[in-house]
Structures are given as C-alpha cells and as structure tokens.
Amino acid sequence: MTTLTSTRLPALPTGPGAAAVEIFALAGRRLRHLLRAPGRLIGVIMNPLVTMIAMGYLFKTSIVVPGGGNYPEYLMAGAAVQVGLASVGPTAIAVSMDLKGGLVDRFRSLPISRTAVLIGHTLADLVSSLAGLVVVMLVGFALDWRPNNGFLGLLAGFGVLAVFIYVMLWVGVLLGMCVSSLESIDSFGGLIVVVFSFMSSAFLASSQFPNWIRPFAEWNPVSSVSNAVRRLWGNPVASGDGFALHNPGVVIVIALGVVLTVTTVLSFRRYRTAS
C-alpha cells in the first residue's frame, strides 16, 4: 500500500524587503528594454534641444528678460522642465503597449505585489529621463548657460527637476492605462508639452502674456518649478508681483502632491481592473 504524502511549498517572502526586490527586478527589466531601444531617450530630449537652439541661440538677442539678465540662462530651467513634460507621452505609450500585448495580465498572474509593476516602470523611466536631462544641461552649457550658485545649488535644482519628472511619469502611466489608442496618446503627449510649457514662464515671463491668460501662466506648476530652479541655479528670474512668483515652493508642494496622489491612486485602481 502506497502512502501519499503532501509537500508544503515554502512560503514566498513578504514585506517591504520583498516588495523592494520585486520593484528593482521589474525596473531592471524595463531598463534593459530601454537600452535595446533608445528611441525613448531621443524623443524626450528632442523638444528641449530644439527649443534651446531656436530660442536660446537664434533668437536670444530678440527676447528680453523683464528685470534684466542673460536670456540663455533664463531659458535653461524652462528647457529642463520640458524634459519632464516630454516624458509623459513615451511612458504612456509603453504602458498602453504592455496592456494591449497582454504583459500586464501575465504580471497580475504572478505572486508579486501589484504596485511593484507600475513603480518599477516609473523608476526605470525616471533613470532614462534623468539621463536625457543631463544631455540637455550639457548642451545648455555649450550655449552659454552657467549655474551661478555652486555645486550644491546645481544639485538642488536637479533634485527639484527629478521630483517634477517623476510626477509627470505617473501622469503618463495613468494616460497609458486609460487611453488605448496610440495615436491619441501621441496627440495628448504633444499637447501637454506645448500647452504647459509655452503657457507658462518657462520661456517667457508671465508679465509678457495677455491679461486673459496671465493668471494661468502664473499659477501653472511648470512656472513655479522653472522659477524655483532658476533661483537655485542663480539664474535670472523675471520680476513681477503675485504669490505664485514669490512662493514657488509652496505651489510646487501643493500642486505636485495633488497630481501625484491622484495619478497613483487612479493608476493602481485601473491596473487591478484593466485587461
């Protein structure tokens, strides 16, 4: 007579340590994919580079910063912020393609944290976007931009930009989870880059806008991030009145905090139900 014995499989590790391992494993997978297909990096840096060359080099003598200052130095923070805006579209397209290709379903069938997939994706894209930001800053240095507050000021400005870019990546994740058409995502991504960068003080002072659009430009989070980075880098900041202009840090914390909370909650909820 044969006696059947049951073998208990070892329990999978749980807790923050296991979640961190899953996140970094998935981020590594995404980074390897990005290294094999560097098109995302090119797409992220093209808009800022074209803007810097067109406005910061060709038209630099035609644009005056209210309050005085070197326009290429004023422009640099706006071009750096545009890296974050340009990251929305490629991230959204990648998430949408994973969803349509069934990769999300396969991930959800694995015994891994459901938050690890999206967080790992955003961390990998953050590394790629920060590499693009470094390229843009190097080009800006070649076009007469200089950080005037030393290395710590340069690093602090880079940190503010990194936070902004990461929040924009979550906007891209939510867009990719909710919009299935790649053509529509591409249109939305281009619209975000144009509207939120050119209707802000990224490239022109808000005081130079018509009266009907000036409040939007002043309270646009892109304006606050640009002005905060300019102060940290010791670059020219346009003169003017208004709470948002003189308190960019407050606007950044509130606006980016709200955007990050909303996009992450909705993205995780959509991830649980999307198929």
The mean pLDDT value of the chain amounts to: 84
Q: What is the pLDDT of residue 98?
A: 76
Query: If pLDDT is split at 50, 70 and 90, which confidence band does 26 have?
Result: confident
Query: If pLDDT is split at 50, 70 and 90, which confidence band does 28 have?
Result: confident
Residues in Cβ contact with 52 at an 8 Å cutoff, skipping those fewer than 6 apart: 75, 76, 79, 136, 139, 140, 143
Which pair of structure tokens corresponds to residue 26? 């998935």
pLDDT tens track for 215-229: 899 999 999 999 999
Does the pLDDT of residue 15 top 60, yes or no? no
Query: If pLDDT is split at 50, 70 and 90, which confidence band does 43 have?
Result: confident
Mean pLDDT, residues 55-66 taken together: 74
User: Which of 143-152, 166-175, 230-239, 264-273 is modeled with the greatest confidence?
Assistant: 166-175
Which pair of structure tokens corresponds to residue 8? 């208990």
Q: What is the pLDDT of residue 9?
A: 36
Q: Is the entire prediction scored with pTM above 0.85?
A: yes
Q: What is the pLDDT of residue 174?
A: 94
Asked if residues 226 and 78 have their Cβ atoms less than 8 Å apart, the reply is: yes
Mean pLDDT, residues 70-90 taken together: 92
Output DSSP code: residue 24.
H
Q: What is the pLDDT of residue 158?
A: 96
Q: What is the pLDDT of residue 34?
A: 79
Does the pLDDT of residue 11 top 80, yes or no? no
Sketch the domain layout of the chain as residue ranges: 23-273
Taking CA atoms, 24 is separated from 18, 91, 115, 130, 219, in Å, by 10, 18, 12, 17, 36
Query: If pLDDT is split at 50, 70 and 90, which confidence band does 94 have?
Result: confident
Spatial distance between the Cα atoms of 41 and 83, rounded to a whole number of angstroms: 10
Does the pLDDT of residue 5 top 50, yes or no? no
Does the pLDDT of residue 10 top 60, yes or no? no
Asked if residues 256 and 162 have their Cβ atoms less than 8 Å apart, the reply is: no
Mean pLDDT, residues 27-51 taken together: 83
